Amino acid sequence: MTITQTSVMNGHHTSNGYHLDDNVKAVKPVQSKDNGLDLTVLGMNSGTCLDGIDCALVRYRQEAPDAPLHMELLYYDEIPVPEWIKSPILKMLRETKTTPSQMSQINVQLGMMFAEAVDTFCDKHGVAKSSIDLIGSHGQTIWLLSMPRKDETRSALCMGEGTVMASLTGITSVTDFRMAEQAVGRQGAPLVALIDGLLLHHPTKWRICQNIGGIANLCIIPPDSEGGVDAMIDWDCGPGNMFIDNAMRYFTNGKQEYDRDGEWGAQGTVDQSIVDCFLNSNWYVNHAPPKTTGRETFGDNEGQQLVTQCLNKGLSKYDTIATITRITAENIIWQYKTFFRDWKKIDEVFMCGGGARNPNIIRYLQQQLPNVHIRALDETGVPSDAKEAISFAQQAVEAVLGRAALVPINSDSLTPNTISGKIAPGLKWRSLMKMCCDFGAGQPLPTVKNMVVDKPYTKWMSMPGVYTAKS
């Protein structure tokens, strides 16, 4: 692998770094055109389930501030969360008891973990760290107080110290996106409407992007003829995979982290009375949007209560997994029909997140929405598993540009946010800032409303065959 150095000529940044050739694992210089934008960004996401660190290396290009944003996913991978930090964090979250000393150390340790994940990712795919201009890291959400009660303060605690990442990798790192959103009056979640809208807006179709990670969330994108990306709404539905994963760890003594391909759930029988009880009684499920949630509402303790309820009724381990899985699936339909009055207008639902690989969930959605085409987000050219990591890559771009991103219209506040994260400068900070300032000649930048996926990414594992069925 050869590396060619960039140069600065006649006051113009002729290259912001390097990009990867798709056919060979070599690193080549990227030539910037005039004062256009050309950045290679590593987006990173560790979800509420702590099941892995998603890493997406993305190249972004934009010829001018009012031109479409072009993106190409160069490499995607999932790096395991090391057990040395996973177990202590899960224990801390279950017990909700800790000390300032422990919290301080975990923040640094998580920063080290993400930096190590960068090294692992780059080594595996033959990427020179010097070729990466920017890191956008979601960090690890420890607590999300998005809907405070009386005498509480809206806040978010996402750990993984950005200065540690920047120091260890040498790469400018942007972190703490949730707190940045809360700072302008929003709830700090979901954080993916930007990429959902840019990927899925359509001239005539109503579309939903349905993510099922640890928490399930949705974004409704009207057709362009009815507002498109300027009229999106989003909210967290409630439990996604968290309850299922907790039950799997319980029944296998931690040997299985999730229900792979829905195998356990497929062997069980759903106890509908338990599903109905949960959906009818849970305060969050029945709360009108805007709303966001996380472990503080649907954590392992709440998940274990469901497991105990199932076992007390005599359900087998397979029946328990089937019942808990149905809660996730049925709640999604519940959210559509309860809080989206035009739900019958939905043409297509694009699925992403780990739950999009669970055939038991997808088949239920297909049964309940027979006139809606349930599709995998992969059809857009972006792998379903990679979407959130890509989202944080783009949000890092918006942060260093000082460019406001799209805001769903049901947000608590529509205040534009031009400081969408905390920035820890790396070795190429000055050249990065020069490109950002030159782009648009230092003037305020318009919000991006059109994005082009230059090349579909096909190097990741395919989605389950359940999507081949006509729905």
**Regarding predicted confidence, which is higher, 434 or 92?**
434
pLDDT score recorded for residue 16: 32
Place of tokens 């703490």: 176
pLDDT score recorded for residue 10: 34
Q: Is the dihedral of CA 47, 52, 56, 57 positive or negative?
A: positive
Give the pLDDT band (50/70/90) at residue 93: confident
464 assigned to some structural domain: no
Instruction: Please tell me whether residue 76 adopts helix, strand or coil conformation.
Output: strand
Query: Of 425, 399, 432, 400, whose CA–CA distance to 166 is shortest?
Result: 425
Query: Of 391, 415, 417, whose CA–CA distance to 404 is shortest?
Result: 417
- Residue 2, pLDDT above cutoff 60: no
155 and 19 within one domain: yes
- Residue 248, pLDDT above cutoff 90: yes
**pLDDT above 70 covers what percent of the chain?**
92
Give the pLDDT band (50/70/90) at residue 97: confident
**pLDDT above 90 covers what percent of the chain?**
83
What secondary structure letter does DSSP report for 256? Answer: -
Q: What are φ and ψ of residue 245, in 5° steps? A: -65, -40
77 and 25 within one domain: yes
254 assigned to some structural domain: yes
Tell me if 137 sits within 8 A of 165, measured CB to CB: yes
460 assigned to some structural domain: no
Q: Which helix (H) or strand (E) holds 215?
A: strand 215-221
DSSP letter string, 147-164: S--TT---EEEEES-HHH
135 assigned to some structural domain: yes
463 assigned to some structural domain: no
94 assigned to some structural domain: yes
Tell me if 131 sits within 8 A of 101, measured CB to CB: no
Whole-number Å distance between alpha carbons of 192 and 387: 8
Q: Mean pLDDT of all residues in the chain?
A: 90
pLDDT score recorded for residue 469: 58
pLDDT in tens, 252-293: 998 998 999 999 999 999 999 999 999 999 999 999 999 999
- Residue 95, pLDDT above cutoff 60: yes
239 and 137 within one domain: no
What is the number of domains present in the chain? 2
Whole-number Å distance between alpha carbons of 455 and 61: 13
pLDDT in tens, 162-215: 999 999 999 999 999 999 999 999 999 999 999 999 999 999 999 999 999 999
Pairing of β 69-79 and β 134-145: unpaired
pLDDT in tens, 338-360: 999 999 999 999 999 999 999 99
285 and 260 within one domain: yes
87 assigned to some structural domain: yes
- Long-range contacts made by residues 7-10, C-beta under 8 angstroms, separation at least 24? 8/431
pLDDT in tens, 133-156: 999 999 998 888 999 999 999 999
Whole-number Å distance between alpha carbons of 238 and 215: 6
pLDDT in tens, 288-334: 999 999 888 898 899 999 999 999 999 999 999 999 999 999 999 99
pLDDT score recorded for residue 30: 37
Show the tokens assigned to 203: 């001239």
Instruction: Please tell me whether residue 268 adopts helix, strand or coil conformation.
Output: coil
Supply the CATH number for residue 42's domain. Answer: 3.30.420.40
